[in-house]
Amino acid sequence: MPELPEVETVCRGLAPILEGQKLVRVVQRRADLRFPLPERFAERLEGRRVLSVSRRAKYILTELDDAEVLITHLGMSGRMFIGEAARPPDAHDHVILETEAGRAVVFNDARRFGMMDLVPRAGLASHKLLRDLGPEPLGNAFDGALLSARLEGRRTPIKSALLDQRVVAGLGNIYVSEALHRAGISPRRSAATVAGRRAELLAPAIRAVLEEAIAAGGSTLRDYVQASGELGYFQHAFRVYDREGQPCPGCSGACRIRRIVQSGRSTYYCPTRQR
């Protein structure tokens, strides 16, 4: 489920709980998520102090005091909860980190498309999961020219291109539809034809959509924590996503949001506004 804004909000919720804290106990309740967890995973984490929690694309990077980094991806259904260490475990609670302050961070993932790895800090950027990632859409360097260069020569629809994490890192199925709607670009248009002038519209649209979503999380959730203890998810109003047949908020007329399938995934758009 989570895309960049949700992962960012999870990170902001995790940071005050974990940063500076020693992990006094780590419980691993499954041998594998999407991939097998590393050997002696829990033992290697126990006794480590967390230096920082940050994000790259949709990955959560938890830097530890022994020059290692815990890489976490939430997949489609991964969720983080904070609570008391004694929280009764749910069937899909897979990893529990307990801090010296008595807080527990619970990684829960019903579908187990999520992943965790524990790797040396040196060479992190060349890790298999991270090395091919494209630019951060909220980074300073991300603009129309950079996006244009990434789209150059691609024949696939712009919708599919934006889902490719090598083009831009962090977008997912919801925010791609939202950004294309905001930019007035048809999701069916070949990516190559967006390179150039249209990329100058699309890059700021991507940035705005993501920033607004993060801001919504910040204003909705106190300390980025829900009453349930879950981190980082929040109600957010989408303009087109999952709104098939409803009026387009960008048009005054009778046009309706349409749903199509591209590369096996739903796309929502306004055929009038998006060309």
Partner DNA sequence: AACAAGACCTGCATGC
Partner DNA sequence: TGCATGCAGGTCTTGT
Which active-site residues does the annotation give?
Answer: 2-3, 58, 265
- Residue 229: how many CB atoms within 10 A of its CB? 16
Closest CA to 161 of 184, 180, 142, 182: 180
The reply to whether 178 sits near DNA by the rule CB under 7 A is: no
Distance in angstroms between the alpha carbons of the first and the last residue of the chain:
28
The smaller minimum CB distance to DNA, of residues 42 and 216, is found at 216
Q: Per CB under 7 A, which region of 45-53, 97-105, 136-144, 158-166 contacts DNA?
A: 158-166
Backbone angles phi, psi at 8, to 5 degrees: -60, -40
As a whole number of angstroms, the distance between CA 48 and CA 106 comes to 17
Which of 48, 79, 150, 154 lies at the binding interface for DNA (CB under 7 A)?
A: 154
Considering the rule CB under 7 A, would residue 163 count as an interface residue with DNA?
yes
Under rule CB under 7 A, residue 137 binds DNA: no
- 69 Cβ contact list (under 8 Å, min separation 6): 61, 62, 63, 118, 119, 120, 121, 124
Q: Is 134 in the site for DNA (CB under 7 A)?
A: no
Residues within window 16-45 making contact with DNA, judged by CB under 7 A: 34
Tell me the closest approach of the beta carbon of residue 37 to DNA, in angstroms: 14
By C-beta, is 48 or 150 nearer to DNA? Answer: 150
Which CB sits closer to DNA, 44 or 188? 188
Six token digits for residue 160: 């599919």
Taking the C-alpha atoms of residue 103 and residue 85, their distance in angstroms, rounded to an integer, is 6
DSSP string, 121-141: STTGGGSTTTTT----TTSTT
Report helix angle 197-220 to 4-18, nearest 10: 40
138 contacts DNA (rule: CB under 7 A)? no
Q: Which of 190, 200, 188 is nearest to 274 (CA)?
A: 188
Our CA angle for 261, 265, 270, nearest 5°, is: 50
Instruction: By CB under 7 A, tell whether 75 contacts DNA.
Output: yes
Q: Which one among 103, 220, 265, 272 touches DNA, defined by CB under 7 A? A: 265
Q: Per CB under 7 A, does 165 bind DNA? A: yes
Minimum separation from the CB atom of position 121 to DNA (A): 20
Stretch that binds DNA, among 20-28, 63-71, 169-177, 194-202 (CB under 7 A): 169-177
Residues 203-232 binding DNA (CB under 7 A) are none
The footprint of DNA (CB under 7 A) covers 1-3, 6, 34, 57-58, 73, 75-77, 91-92, 110-113, 129, 153-157, 160-161, 163, 165, 172-174, 191, 233, 263-266
